[in-house]
Amino acid sequence: MGLGLLASRALRSSRIFTSPVSRNAIVRTIVSTPELQNPEASAAAQSPPEDLPIRTPVAGARVEFTNPDDAIEVFVDGYPVKIPKGMTVLQACELAGVDIPRFCYHSRLSIAGNCRMCLVEVEKSPKPVASCAMPALPGMKIKTDTPIAKKAREGVMEFLLMNHPLDCPICDQGGECDLQDQSMAFGSDRGRFTEMKRSVVDKNLGPLVKTVMTRCIQCTRCVRFATEVAGVQDLGMLGRGSGEEIGTYVEKLMTSELSGNVIDICPVGALTSKPFAFKARNWELKGTESIDVTDAVGSNIRIDSRGPEVMRILPRLNEDINEEWISDKTRFFYDGLKRQRLNDPMIRGADGRFKAVSWRDALAVVAEVIHQVKPEEIVGVAGQLSDAESMMALKDFLNKMGSNNIWCEGNGMHPNADLRSGYLLNNGISGLEKADVFLLVGTQPRVEAAMVNARIRKTVRETHAKVGYIGPPTDFNYDYQHLGTGPQTLTEIAEGRHPFYSALSNAKNPVIIVGAGIFERNDKDAIFSVVETIAKKGNIIRPDWNGLNVLLLNAAQAASLDLGLVPESEHSIESAKFVYLMGADDVSLEKVPSDAFVVYQGHHGDQSVYRANVILPAAAFTEKEGTYVNAEGCAQQTLPAVPTVGDARDDWKIIRALSEVAGVRLPYDTLGAIRNRIRTVAPNLLHMDERQPATFSALLKPESGNKTSSTPFGTAVENFYMTNSITRASKIMAQCTAMLLKK
Amino acid sequence: MLARLATQRLLEIRQAFRQIPQTSRSLSTALNYHLDSPDNNPDLPWEFTDANKAKVKEIISHYPSNYKQSAVIPLLDLAQQQHGGWLPVSAMNAVAKVIEVAPIRVYEVATFYSMFNRSKVGKYHLLVCGTTPCMIRGSREIEDALLKHLGVKRNEVTKDGMFSVGEMECMGCCVNAPMITVADYSNGSEGYTYNYYEDATPERVVEIVELLRRGEKPPRGTQNPKRINCGPEGGNTTLFGEPKAPPCRDLDAC
Amino acid sequence: MSFRGVKVPANSASLEEARTRVFDFFRSACRSIPTIMEIYNLEDVVSPSQLRTSIASQIRNHSHITNPKVIDMLLFKGLEELNNVVEHAKQRHHIIGQYVVGRGGLVQDLGMKDQGASNFLKNFYDSNYF
């Protein structure tokens, strides 16, 4: 090192003597660091580091060598790094631990290479190269912090800021803006642009995405996202030169269930969240890592809260579930948490009006009534947002009261809870990427589980997998064949009479996805046996590949089946005298006898409250710690982000307290104790973020005797934006329903 | 010190020259987004004529069947000729349908190229070259003369719908600068012509307009009677002999 | 106003010194009980011994504190409070609420209702967070 430094010093001083470096005073330069004014000199001054400090890959970037022969070696700032063939220079730099500034490059989108921010110097290349679009070649010597690279970035940044308004103080992206951060890190301290800045007309993209198009830097991430991931080809790059702008040309709302993600990928404040506009700054918010419960996918989310209020919801990276996207419902339903909340225990008086009472009185009334009815007249229904702990408590409580009529809504009256593979997405969501043929039976994944649909779309886009669909006509954002509408088509495939049968049987990794809407049908078992016949014939269930999947609808479904929430008798609700609804709003209460006593425990005044006699206010998923199992059988936890509203309590605590008042005290006082109880019933619920493969294949099931009916499959989710009590209370979701749903 | 003064002065001079706030000079005839109007909205039906349908087939046959979208530019051109020199939204939608892409992909192309007009133009669309050589040789005067004679603004159509004047970038006729181009949409896509009128003068372009109005076809090319094509005025002054053999090897013999 | 007469005591050097100060404070508080009874007209609701017990229990609430600095601080607050009370800076219901009825509140039969209930249930009635 010492020698090199000396040599370079000598070199530099000799340069000063030999060549009169013309400090041309008239040239106004913006480069503030003097050595940048003379890049060659300082480039020569830099000597290769000899004792390299260890660098770690950026953001835990990892590399997988599918074929060890394809490995090539490149040098990033003198650090050797081994990468597979076909990787770009930028990815190589990331592996070497150098974060290259970028705007247009996004690892999940195609490469555009139009922002030029990622310029790096490559030895023997006459000019800086855009690292995001340049494939790394063996032996390439990449330099990321040379004066040339720095000057290139500074220049690009100056150009980008030329037409960018300096409205950071009123911009919602302020504080989490890539342009802001990178101009601080790589930009110059002044600009030379004195002309008029351009301005662009704002576009109306609907109730979710706010546009301030003047801030746009034309990175085209949103265009690529809409085209590639969301599958709605609405956005485009219009015009040319300085008149270039992002838009839809003909005014059109963005009718995608993933449109909110353009807010995250926009590196500047051009696309921001409309409901969140001017509400808070990102540094005021407290982030809580939680999971989403609006569908059975269990997308990983971060709940940003300020004080007692949920301000926004952002996705969290989870490669196996939601990658880094979330659906619009997940992202924007949070305002429903502030409306229609139940905050006090209430008892319906003789005049039919609810009166707020104390917890003591409310529990005493419920405990008194539950002792007056016969055990078989007690019915408990868990709602679609219930966590595993409270379902366990409910089941234990009602069992102690002598009743076994407990189920979770959406599971139908005779669910199959014995074989775990019979109600799970056995391939896993990320496992769907390996599939080459899909058969969707009575499921519309786009509205039932938007993230699963995004995964299928990704697969279809990458591998041109075939998709066959049986069900009512619906929207898909990828190519599909509509095979039929009812079970008879399924029977045809099973008997090999249908043309799709050959596609299915010739496929290497075929996948059948059965929608959970079928659970409510009377011929459910018959349909499943037909599906199993197809699976048997098409060699879909193999030791290495279980392609027979069920796509659940609700967050609570999988956990409730794991815990064995199965009703004893089919018609229990018709003869019920005491109905305990734990957040169950989608259960049909017309059949409940008029003299039955209905207790509603939940957080929103939704459909079931109209029939309830007593209301016990509970905590929403943002306010409690609870375990949820997603459609692929992966247990995950929510964490409390905000305090409970009013006098509400956690669900399991209410049942635990009620059990004591009723004289059948449940033996757990803490969440830990209740989890110990769960361990004896379904230990898989305690293994967070693990998928336990269903050990029994569905083929062990006995053949069902009854026949399939000819009624076509129905739609399980009528309105994507309103599926549960929280989303039904949300104003934003109501706006989406009014504006975005096709009539 | 001197440098700062000099920059200051330079800035002052620049400010003085820029009296009117500079609006971005757009060569396109329309905005980059669509506004519905009675003669231009997505609900209007639009289809290629039967004769053009054959042409569409022919154009698409030039491209591999899985790269149909490559035909977007020739098809937009054809649609523009058919629709009297401009492209309504419904025409772009029709093109998108033919090449089986999302309409936005066609809009992107149509907004990129300034020779696709997305608002109404006259039957004769006169384009004045505004690039440096033509500008030095007086294209501003030519445009002024045209606008004054027709009584319109740039990119505006005369009341009778016959003429409109626009500006365009270099068409490669710098040797005969200044020049104008006349895109003739009066006869549909069959009689469509796109002629250059070079060595124009303010008087001559007005004459050309009047000739066109009468339905005559003024001779295209240089308007200077003393020149033949791009040869010098009054005939050749050099290169009288036979041209020399090419300095490189004879490629045909290889 | 209320700080009049309240001097910031010197820091206690040791736990022993702090302890003596607490006793001094208790004594002075007990001495002012008759005055307090008189100015707030408390004869019909409380007896001097009850008030003494109340003061003693408040001091015992902090019996676990061993840091002389903290004791000094609490002592200062106590002195301030005593001063406020003696100077009639409070009203009758303040004294009754704080020292006669205490935290239990006016409804005295609560304990009966929750008798036999587990700690869980008692906490449950109180709040969601325990």
| Per-chain mean pLDDT for chain C | 83
CB contact under 8 A, A250 and B34: yes
- Looking at residue A283, its pLDDT comes to 93
Percentage with pLDDT > 90 across chain A = 64
CA A202 to CA B35: how far, in whole Å? 14
**More confident position, A226 or A53:** A226
CB contact under 8 A, B102 and A201: no
Mutate which of A341, A603, A669, A674 to test chain C, going by most C C-beta atoms within 10 A? A669
Domain of residue B179 covers 124-222
Residue pLDDT, tens place only, A583-642: 999 888 888 898 999 999 999 999 899 999 999 999 999 999 999 999 999 999 999 999
Question: Residue A455: which pLDDT band, with cuts at 50, 70 and 90?
Answer: very high
* One domain, residues A408 and A436: no
Within-domain flag for B107:
yes
B7 vs A contacts (CB less than 8 Å): 26, 28
CA B137 to CA A544: how far, in whole Å? 78
Percentage with pLDDT > 70 across chain A = 90
**CATH number of the domain where residue A246 is located:** 3.30.70.20
Q: Report CA Rg, chain B.
A: 23
* One domain, residues B218 and B128: yes
* One domain, residues A529 and A438: yes
Q: CB-based contact (8 Å) between A341 and chain C?
A: no
C105 vs A contacts (CB less than 8 Å): none
Whether the CB-CB separation of B68 and B56 falls below 8 Å is answered with: no
For residue A539, CA distances in Å to A437, A443, A535 come to 13, 22, 6
* One domain, residues B98 and B129: no
* One domain, residues B93 and B133: no
Question: Residue A255: which pLDDT band, with cuts at 50, 70 and 90?
Answer: confident
Cβ neighbours around A350 below 10 Å, total: 5
Within-domain flag for B152:
yes
Please name which of B89, B90, B101, B91 lies closest in space to residue B60, comparing C-alpha atoms.
Answer: B101
Cβ-in-10-Å burial (0-12, 13-18, 19+) of B254 comes to exposed
CA A701 to CA A536: how far, in whole Å? 12
Residue pLDDT, tens place only, A271-280: 999 999 999 9
User: Three-class SS string for A457-506?
Assistant: HHHHHHHCCEEEEECCCCCCCCCCEEEECCHHHHHHHHCCCCHHHHHHHH
Residue in A closest to B26 by C-alpha: A243
Within-domain flag for A280:
no
Verdict on whether the full-model pTM lies above 0.80: yes
Residue A676 has pLDDT above 80, yes or no: yes
A360 vs C contacts (CB less than 8 Å): 113, 125
Average pLDDT over residues A7-28: 42
Using DSSP's 3-state secondary structure scheme, residue A73 falls into strand
Within-domain flag for A68:
yes
Within-domain flag for B35:
no
Question: Residue A510: which pLDDT band, with cuts at 50, 70 and 90?
Answer: very high
**More confident position, A539 or A348:** A348
* One domain, residues B103 and B137: no
- Looking at residue A23, its pLDDT comes to 43
**Distance (Å) from the C-alpha of residue A657 to the closest C-alpha of chain C?**
6
Cβ-in-10-Å burial (0-12, 13-18, 19+) of A718 comes to exposed
Within-domain flag for A701:
no
Last residue of a domain, one of A644, A659, A686: A686
**Distance (Å) from the C-alpha of residue A357 to the closest C-alpha of chain C?**
12
Using DSSP's 3-state secondary structure scheme, residue A74 falls into strand
Residue pLDDT, tens place only, B184-195: 998 888 889 999
Using DSSP's 3-state secondary structure scheme, residue A266 falls into coil
Average pLDDT over residues B160-180: 91
**How many folded domains does chain B comprise?**
2
Domain of residue A449 covers 425-551
* One domain, residues B141 and B78: no
- Looking at residue A238, its pLDDT comes to 92
| Per-chain mean pLDDT for chain A | 87
Q: Which two tokens stand for residue B130?
A: 């505004």
Last residue of a domain, one of A686, A715, A735: A686
CA A537 to CA A504: how far, in whole Å? 9
Complex ipTM: 0.84
DSSP per position, A333-389 = GGGGGGSSB--S-EEE-TTS-EEE--HHHHHHHHHHHHHHS-GGGEEEEE-TT--HH
Question: Residue A705: which pLDDT band, with cuts at 50, 70 and 90?
Answer: low
Average pLDDT over residues C95-114: 66
- Looking at residue A290, its pLDDT comes to 95
CB contact under 8 A, A238 and B107: yes
Continuous segment of H or E residues that includes residue A720: none
Average pLDDT over residues B93-98: 95
CA A622 to CA A648: how far, in whole Å? 13
Residue pLDDT, tens place only, A290-337: 999 999 999 999 999 999 999 999 999 999 999 899 999 999 999 999
**Distance (Å) from the C-alpha of residue C56 to the closest C-alpha of chain A?**
33
Within-domain flag for B5:
no
Within-domain flag for A3:
no
Within-domain flag for A719:
no
Residues 77-136 of B with CB under 8 A from A: 89, 101-105, 107-108, 111-114
Within-domain flag for A740:
no
**CATH number of the domain where residue B80 is located:** 1.10.10
**Distance (Å) from the C-alpha of residue A397 to the closest C-alpha of chain C?**
15
DSSP per position, A644-712 = PPTT-B-HHHHHHHHHHHTT---S--SHHHHHHHHHHH-GGGGSTT-BPPP-S-GGGSPPP-SPPP-PP
**Distance (Å) from the C-alpha of residue B35 to the closest C-alpha of chain A?**
7
Within-domain flag for A289:
no
CB contact under 8 A, B102 and A234: yes
Residue A21 has pLDDT above 50, yes or no: no
- Looking at residue A421, its pLDDT comes to 84
Within-domain flag for A52:
yes
Q: CB-based contact (8 Å) between B26 and chain A?
A: yes
- The domain segmentation of chain C, as residue ranges, is 15-104
Q: Residues of A297-319 as b/e, b for ≥16 C-beta within 10 angstroms?
A: bbbbbbbbbeeebbbbbbbbebe
**How many folded domains does chain A comprise?**
4
Last residue of a domain, one of A639, A663, A686: A686
**More confident position, A173 or C111:** A173
CB contact under 8 A, B104 and A236: yes
Cβ neighbours around A508 below 10 Å, total: 10
Residue A101 has pLDDT above 90, yes or no: yes
Residue pLDDT, tens place only, A726-742: 999 999 999 999 988 76
Residue A10 has pLDDT above 50, yes or no: no
Residue in A closest to C119 by C-alpha: A669
Average pLDDT over residues B201-220: 92
Question: Residue A17: which pLDDT band, with cuts at 50, 70 and 90?
Answer: very low
Q: Report CA Rg, chain A.
A: 30
CA A459 to CA A432: how far, in whole Å? 7
**CATH number of the domain where residue A489 is located:** 3.40.228.10
Residue pLDDT, tens place only, B3-13: 677 777 766 66
Question: Residue A15: which pLDDT band, with cuts at 50, 70 and 90?
Answer: very low
CA A372 to CA A361: how far, in whole Å? 17
* One domain, residues B140 and B214: yes
CA A281 to CA B221: how far, in whole Å? 64
Mutate which of B17, B108, B109 to test chain A, going by most A C-beta atoms within 10 A? B108
CB contact under 8 A, A649 and C125: no
* One domain, residues B130 and B204: yes
**CATH number of the domain where residue B134 is located:** 3.40.30.10
- Looking at residue A103, its pLDDT comes to 94
* One domain, residues A107 and A221: no
**CB neighbours of A90 closer than 8 A, spacing ≥ 6?**
A100, A102, A105, A118, A131, A132, A134
**More confident position, A692 or A27:** A692
CA B95 to CA B51: how far, in whole Å? 15
